[in-house]
């Protein structure tokens, strides 16, 4: 901390939406040169607070002070010009445009007659991309980049202006470990230059690794600020959700039944090759690997979204060809996709209808949709997963990021599929609900379903899986049982190192 004038202060911010008091008198002080974590459950109001600070939303009351000057953030551009840069939780990119245009979106450098100064644009962007050590050029079309690289484009925006404060809202959700290291370097660099960084994340390791202080929100209320060095995970969790959590690793295998799904020598272009595994009823099979290892693509193939070049898929011992998601659902395979916004939700539809979307056909009373049954399903899962919404009529697009994810999960859980595939089920979900979802997954297996969990978080796969498939560059390196797996052997396997002792 280089100085004692705060970089910015928020005072008694109140923000209400119809039916929701999202922020209830929240105050926050960020010093220059500190990394300030903002934590809280899904729907606690973190993103809303940042949207107020970033000029996206206007508060109902309260004050914003930048360097002790009372300020009104009229618009995102206004906030940016006052030195507050906001990296959004959801990607906010125009896919058809180039990387450079996206980085400087809304602020393209100009020449006379409103012409774009392409040379300057590309030069400035190249300098930023250099700093981020990414493997693409300013001219690349954003739609051609991987999710992780798109996230890097978002991050590049933070470096376009001389910022006083930079807000990162869950930036690591879709980054690979290597890219995370780069991001942490970027943040350390910002910090060294005296910029105040606000960092939102649900990942405890990151919080303890990088931040100086932590402020906690709960149900829209400010719950205090702690010095990271003087606190513990337990104390944080207690403040965030008001109770303690049992985070120990427990393996109590359910009764394992017949093989529900078997895959033999499945290959698909350059995406993955010769993938073989089986899942039994009553079992949770974890898929672990780095982002891009081909796990999602395998899942998409099983769900009928991709055509495999070779190999067999056997359901209950019978070879099947799955040509479309409709067929997959009919055969009892469900996929909770990784990209919730793009694939899992209809943002303009209300919570209940999103949740019951795949089964409206079965929920009919005569020619009409059975409203009662739909609401019953909604209520059940809202309680189970603790979904924060004023009611089922709320549009899903208005929920907080983590609560959207819960709706997607509830949608497929309520189908009671034979084989459930969940891809990164707890990305962006707070610690309390995370363990709820883990318990739910274990329960499902215990009830005789076969579950496949794809995850990039080691504690998660270790916690929920009976067996773990480690993938690297589209190949299965090794399958572990939960007894034999260790963190070390798992890390080796996903880096492509085959342990000699494996056989």
Partner 1 sequence: MNTLNTNDLLKQGAIWGFIVLELVFFTVAGKYLSLSQNAFMDLDNMLLLFKQSAPIGIIALGMTVIMINGNIDLSVGAIFALCAVVLLDSMSWPFLTGLGDWVIPVSWGLALLTGVVLGAINGLIVWKTGVDAFIVTLGAMLGYRGLVFMFNGEQPTSHLNWTLVDFAEAQFLGLHTATWFLLGVAVALWLLMTRTVHGRNAYAIGDNREAAVNAGIRVGPHMMINFMIIGFLAGLSAVVFYSESGSVNPNDGSLYELWAITAVVLGGTKLTGGSGSIISTLGGVLAIQLLRKGLGHIGADTETVNLVIGSILIAVLFLDRQLNRKAKGELRT
The two tokens of residue 473 are 């560059």
Contacts with partner 1 in 298-317 (CB under 8 A)? 300, 304-307
Question: What 3-state DSSP class applies to 38?
Answer: strand
Give dist(CA 464, CA 445) in Å, integer: 10
**Distance set, CA 24 to CA 17, 41, 218, 245 (Å):** 12, 15, 10, 26
H or E element in which residue 148 lies: helix 147-156
Size of the site for partner 1 (CB under 8 A): 37
Q: Is 271 in the site for partner 1 (CB under 8 A)?
A: yes
Query: In the bound complex, what is the minimum distance in angstroms from residue 462's beta carbon to ligand ATP?
Result: 24
Q: Which does 95 bind (CB under 5 to 8 A by kind): ligand ATP, partner 1, Mg ion, none?
A: partner 1
Give dist(CA 197, CA 159) in Å, integer: 12
Select from 9, 48, 82, 98 the one that contacts ligand ATP (CB under 6 A): 48
The two tokens of residue 266 are 């499945």
Q: Is 6 in the site for partner 1 (CB under 8 A)?
A: no
- Exposed/middle/buried for 7, CB within 10 Å: 0-12, 13-18, 19+? buried
Query: In the bound complex, what is the minimum distance in angstroms from residue 38's beta carbon to ligand ATP?
Result: 8
For ligand ATP, which stretch binds (CB under 6 A), given 37-45, 126-134, 228-236, 412-420? 37-45
Say if CB 285 and CB 262 are below 8 A apart.
no
Give dist(CA 236, CA 161) in Å, integer: 33
For partner 1, which stretch binds (CB under 8 A), given 92-100, 123-131, 464-472, 474-482? 92-100
Select from 114, 348, 366, 367 the one that contacts partner 1 (CB under 8 A): 114
Contacts with ligand ATP in 65-124 (CB under 6 A)? 89
Select from 148, 173, 399, 462 the one that contacts ligand ATP (CB under 6 A): 399
The two tokens of residue 63 are 């004050």
Say if CB 198 and CB 88 are below 8 A apart.
no
Give dist(CA 416, CA 375) in Å, integer: 17
Strand partners of residue 393: none
For partner 1, which stretch binds (CB under 8 A), given 84-92, 243-251, 257-265, 443-451? 84-92
Q: Is 215 in the site for ligand ATP (CB under 6 A)?
A: no
The two tokens of residue 177 are 């470990």
Q: Is 406 in the site for ligand ATP (CB under 6 A)?
A: no
Pick from 345, 256, 269: nearest CA to 300: 269
Query: In the bound complex, what is the minimum distance in angstroms from residue 400's beta carbon to Mg ion?
Result: 5
Complex with ligand ATP: residue 45 or 432, whichever CB lies closer: 45
Select from 59, 83, 282, 401 the one that contacts ligand ATP (CB under 6 A): 401
Q: Is 426 in the site for Mg ion (CB under 5 A)?
A: no
Q: Is 59 in the site for ligand ATP (CB under 6 A)?
A: no
Q: Which does 116 bind (CB under 5 to 8 A by kind): Mg ion, partner 1, ligand ATP, none?
A: partner 1
Q: Is 96 in the site for partner 1 (CB under 8 A)?
A: yes
The two tokens of residue 362 are 């079965």
Residue position matching structure tokens 């309390």: 432
Q: Is 108 in the site for partner 1 (CB under 8 A)?
A: yes
Sorted by sequence, the CB contacts under 8 Å of residue 32 that are 6+ apart come out as 1, 2, 3, 5, 6, 7, 164, 194, 195, 196
Q: Is 352 in the site for ligand ATP (CB under 6 A)?
A: no
Complex with partner 1: residue 94 or 258, whichever CB lies closer: 94
Rule CB under 5 A: which residues touch Mg ion? Answer: 47, 89, 400-401
Rule CB under 6 A: which residues touch ligand ATP? Answer: 17, 20, 22, 40, 42-48, 89, 388-389, 398-403
């Amino acid at each position: 901390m280089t100085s004692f004038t705060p970089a910015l202060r928020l005072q008694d911010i109140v923000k209400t939406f119809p039916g929701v008091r999202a922020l209830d008198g929240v105050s926050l002080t960020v010093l220059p040169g500190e990394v300030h974590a903002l934590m809280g459950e899904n729907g606690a109001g973190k993103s809303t607070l940042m949207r107020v600070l970033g000029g996206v939303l206007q508060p109902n009351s309260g004050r914003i002070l930048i360097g002790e000057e009372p300020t009104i953030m009229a618009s995102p551009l206004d906030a940016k010009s006052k030195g507050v840069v906001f990296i959004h939780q959801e990607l906010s990119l125009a896919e058809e445009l180039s990387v450079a245009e996206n980085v400087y979106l809304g602020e393209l450098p100009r020449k006379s007659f409103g012409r774009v100064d392409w040379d300057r644009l590309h030069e400035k962007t190249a300098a930023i991309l250099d700093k981020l050590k990414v493997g693409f050029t300013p001219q690349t079309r954003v739609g051609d980049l991987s999710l992780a690289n798109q996230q890097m484009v978002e991050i590049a925006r933070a470096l376009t202006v001389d910022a006083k404060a930079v807000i990162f809202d869950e930036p690591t959700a879709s980054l690979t470990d290597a890219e995370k290291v780069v991001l942490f370097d970027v943040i350390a660099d910002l910090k060294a230059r005296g910029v105040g960084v606000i960092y939102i994340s649900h990942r405890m390791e990151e919080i303890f690794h990088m931040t100086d202080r932590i402020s906690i929100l709960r149900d829209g209320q400010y719950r205090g600020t702690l010095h990271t060095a003087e606190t513990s995970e337990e104390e944080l969790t207690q403040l965030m959700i008001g109770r303690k959590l049992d985070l120990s690793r427990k393996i109590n295998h359910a009764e394992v039944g017949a093989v529900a799904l078997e895959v033999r020598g499945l290959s698909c272009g350059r995406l993955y090759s010769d993938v073989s595994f089986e899942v039994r009823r009553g079992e949770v099979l974890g898929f672990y690997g780095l982002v891009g290892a081909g796990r999602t693509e395998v899942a998409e193939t099983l769900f009928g979204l991709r055509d495999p070049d070779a190999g067999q898929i056997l359901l209950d011992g019978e070879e099947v060809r799955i040509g479309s998601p409709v067929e997959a659902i009919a055969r009892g395979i469900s996929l909770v996709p990784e990209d919730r916004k793009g694939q899992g939700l209809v943002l303009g539809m209300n919570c209940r209808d999103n949740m019951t979307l795949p089964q409206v056909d079965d929920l009919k009373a005569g020619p009409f949709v059975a409203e009662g049954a739909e609401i019953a399903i909604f209520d059940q899962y809202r309680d189970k997963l603790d979904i924060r919404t004023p009611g089922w009529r709320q549009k899903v697009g208005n929920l907080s990021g983590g609560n959207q994810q819960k709706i997607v999960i509830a949608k497929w859980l309520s189908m009671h599929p034979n084989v459930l595939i969940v891809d990164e089920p707890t990305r962006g979900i707070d610690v309390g609900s995370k363990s709820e979802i883990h318990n739910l997954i274990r329960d499902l297996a215990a009830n005789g379903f076969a579950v496949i969990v794809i995850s990039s978080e080691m504690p998660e796969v270790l916690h929920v899986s009976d067996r773990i498939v480690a993938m690297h560059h589209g190949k299965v390196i090794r399958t572990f049982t939960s007894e034999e797996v260790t963190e070390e052997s798992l890390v080796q396997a996903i880096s492509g190192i085959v342990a000699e002792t494996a056989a």
